Amino acid sequence: LWRSNQILIKGKGRDDKETVLLHPVPVRALKQYYRVRQYLDEDNRPRGAMFRSRSVPSKQGRITTRGLRHIVKAVFEEQGIDKTVHGLRHTYVTRLVKYFNGDITKVAQFSRHRSLEMISIYNDAVLLESDYKGYIKAFGDINLFIPV
């Protein structure tokens, strides 16, 4: 994690953990989180689950998805972010689609979508938004309003 900006995630509906590349900014935040929570081993490496339950006994002490969603929602409200957790994912993927100019195979590497078809839906929305601006310009010189 620390040297390679990678974490292992076992996501919804998945049996195996998979490697996810992280941007350096959240890596710094995670390092601080691990230090504060004292989740580091003797060699200063992360140990155990990242998000742990303090109140409800759960599998291996991990917080539930629902519990994590409540925490993120509270942070969003505190920061004035008008998004749900899933809505933020849509924003993230849409931004990647725009940045990578619709190259959905590149987007798939960072979004954890199994289906390129799903990412193509985001791409279609980005293209429609872009095409709509052109559509408006195509008829910009026509005035349909009749003075009264």
- Lowest mean pLDDT segment, chosen from 3-12, 126-135, 136-145: 3-12
Smallest CA-to-CA distance from 96 within 112, 83, 107, 85 is with 107
Does position 46 have pLDDT exceeding 80, yes or no? no
Does the predicted TM-score (pTM) go above 0.75?
no
Average pLDDT over residues 93-111: 91
Backbone angles phi, psi at 15, to 5 degrees: -90, -40
Cα–Cα distances (Å) from 42 to 38, 46, 70, in that order, read 11, 10, 32
Please say whether the beta carbons of 119 and 108 come within 8 A.
Answer: yes
Q: What is the mean pLDDT of residues 60-66?
A: 78
Q: What average pLDDT score do residues 48-60 get?
A: 70
